[in-house]
Amino acid sequence: MISLTSKPKRHTTSLSDLWPAGLAAAGMLVVSAGLYALSVPSETEGKLAAMEAQLKSLQASARAPGDVQAFPAGSVCGGKLFAGYKDQLGLALGGSGLEVTALDIAPPQATDTRSPLQAYAVSIKASGQYEAMVNGLNGLSKFRPTLFLDSVSVRNKTDAVELDLKGRVFCR
């Protein structure tokens, strides 16, 4: 039976009932702070400083006037591109083990810089083993005058890779 005269009982929360909930909340905060500290790599500051320095260097290069002094020594040929450049380029790639299927050097075109630079467009297609391609690209990086790469495409075939490279050689 239900009595209509009885009053419902009120549940009161005492301070001693809140301790476990407060302790759990504080524990979660400590664990969260610890996990955050572990998630941030310790070398982040150094990497960020190195990236900012590299960015400043790139921005300075982009603002360079575009004259011959902006290029490293040996990277720009004097006068016209010498006649044997194409043959030597083919020999350098062939010597790395690549089979050169096409090597074209277009006539020079004037550049839009303050100095009278001319750009020779170079197009290379080659195939061979992956190691030979890596060695060939390494050899090109040391070749003078420098071949500045615009695009490099490497397609993997079953037993070899195909290299399709486009770039420019600059001359004064």
Give the pLDDT of residue 67. Answer: 54
69-171 is classed CATH 3.30.70.270: no
User: C-alpha 34: how far from its chain's center?
Assistant: 33
Count CB neighbours of 87 within 10 A: 10
pLDDT at 66 over 90: no
14-23 per-position pLDDT tens digit:
666 777 778 8
Per domain, the residue ranges of the chain are: 69-171
**E strand intervals along 6-98:** none
- pLDDT surpassing 80 at residue 56: no
Whether the Cβ atoms of residue 106 and residue 120 lie closer than 8 Å to each other: yes
pLDDT at 134 over 60: yes
Distance CA 27, CA 153 (A): 54
Q: What is the pTM of this model?
A: 0.56
- Selected residue with higher pLDDT from 104 and 10: 104
Q: Of 28, 25, 45, nearest to 36 (Cα)?
A: 28
Instruction: Indicate the range of 66-70, 74-78, 168-172 predicted with least confidence.
Output: 66-70
What is the identity of the amino acid at 145? Answer: P
